Every structure is written in structure tokens, then in C-alpha cells.
């Protein structure tokens, strides 16, 4: 099974310092939906792993998060793509839960749910914590410059082996090219 794990905010959709709290605030980054479709067309299952501490902070309810994800699924489907599953952590950093990135709990759950070793599975994020979670799971690390990506690069000290791309579209093209487009 070919799998790609994506962060949501800053990779698929525009990020916001005040959180994405409603479907109306969810706006795809240009080219990201088509990138997911491109991955699907080349046999990749696309999984989203996202911290959503706005729920734990009381900024929005689970029903709003579900509506945001429904909008995301519809948007991806409108260009012929599909997100196979969304894993999320609703906890705040103070909760110290094992699923909140940079801890690898969501990645462990993805591995168990799909029955796949995540060694070398591409994971694409825009923050160091995205990369650290993927690194702990053995993933191939990719950072995009969208979202918080530029700030992450400026902060330096990316995990070893991290490959940087302008955006999800460029990362998806590289992933497809690496497997020969099959």
C-alpha cells in the first residue's frame, strides 16, 4: 500500500494564528487539492494527521471540526481526489497526550489502522513538530514553505533528511516521480 501523511493547516489549507474555527475559515492553498488528486491517481492513499487544540481550548466544538473536515473532503472530491482518513488530536500542549505532535501517537494509530510500517512513508508538514512526529515513526520527511514553513526553515535545525518544497503540489510531484509515476 502506498501512503502519504499530510498535516492539514498550512499544508492543505491556509493557516491562521487564531485557528480555523469554522468551515467558512477553511480555504485551500492553491494547488493543494489537485496535489491530493495527483497522489490518488498514482495509487497513493492520503491520510491527514493534524493537531486541533482549538477543541481542547474551547475555541470551537467537535461539530465545527467535523463540518470543517466535511468541507475539506468535498473540496478534494470536487477535483477528483480523496482523503482516506483524518486523524486529529483535540488536546492542548498542557494535556501532554501521546497523540499530539511532536509525539508520534497519531502516526502509531495510522500504522495500526492501516496495518503498515511507516518506514519511508512520506509525511508532509509545515512545522518542526510535524517533522518530529514523522521522524519518530520512521517516515520520509518533507517540509513545505507554506503555512509556518518559512518560519520553520528560518529557525533552522530541521531533522536530518528533511526535503523542502515550495508547497504540497511540488512535494506531490516529487513523490509521484520517485515511484516512477506508477
Q: What are 7-30's pLDDT values in tens digits?
A: 999 999 999 999 999 999 999 999
> pTM of the entire structure?
0.97
Name the 3-class secondary structure at 17.
Answer: coil
The tally of domains found in the chain comes to 1
Per-residue pLDDT band at 157 (split at 50, 70, 90):
confident
Determine which one of 7, 15, 126, 167 is catalytic.
Answer: 7
Integer Cα distance of 80 and 42 in angstroms: 12
Q: What is the mean predicted confidence (pLDDT) over 95-101? A: 96
State the CB neighbour count (10 A cutoff) for residue 126: 27
CATH label of the domain that carries residue 70:
3.40.50.1000
Cα–Cα distances in Å, from 28 out to 40, 79, 152?
Answer: 17, 12, 20
Whether 108 is catalytic: no
Domain range spanning residue 39? 2-178
- Spatial contact of 36 and 12, defined as CB atoms under 8 Å apart: yes
Determine which one of 9, 15, 130, 167 is catalytic.
Answer: 9
pLDDT score recorded for residue 147: 98
DSSP 54-123: HHHTTSS-HHHHHHHHHHHHHHHHTTT----EEEEE---GGG--TTSTTSSHHHHHHHHHHT---TT-EE
Whether 7 is catalytic: yes
Amino acid at each position: 500500500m502506498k501512503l502519504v501523511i499530510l498535516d492539514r493547516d498550512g499544508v492543505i489549507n491556509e493557516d491562521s494564528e487564531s485557528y480555523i474555527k469554522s468551515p467558512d475559515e477553511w480555504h485551500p492553498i492553491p494547488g493543494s487539492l489537485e496535489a491530493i488528486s495527483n497522489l490518488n491517481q498514482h495509487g497513493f492513499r492520503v491520510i491527514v494527521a493534524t493537531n486541533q487544540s482549538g477543541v481542547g481550548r474551547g475555541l470551537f466544538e467537535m461539530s465545527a471540526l467535523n463540518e470543517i473536515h466535511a468541507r475539506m473532503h468535498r473540496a478534494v472530491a470536487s477535483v477528483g481526489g480523496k482523503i482516506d482518513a483524518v486523524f486529529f488530536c483535540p488536546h492542548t500542549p498542557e494535556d501532554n497526550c501521546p497523540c499530539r505532535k511532536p509525539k508520534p501517537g497519531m502516526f502509531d494509530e495510522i500504522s495500526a489502522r492501516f496495518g503498515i510500517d511507516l518506514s519511508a512513508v512520506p509525511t508532509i508538514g509545515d512545522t518542526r513538530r510535524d517533522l518530529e512526529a514523522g521522524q519518530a515513526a520512521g517516515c520520509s520527511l518533507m517540509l513545505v514553505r507554506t503555512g509556518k514553513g518559512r518560519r520553520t526553515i528560518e529557525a533552522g535545525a530541521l531533522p536530518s533528511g528533511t526535503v523542502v518544497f515550495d508547497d504540497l503540489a511540488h512535494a506531490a510531484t516529487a513523490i509521484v516521480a520517485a515511484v516512477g509515476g506508477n
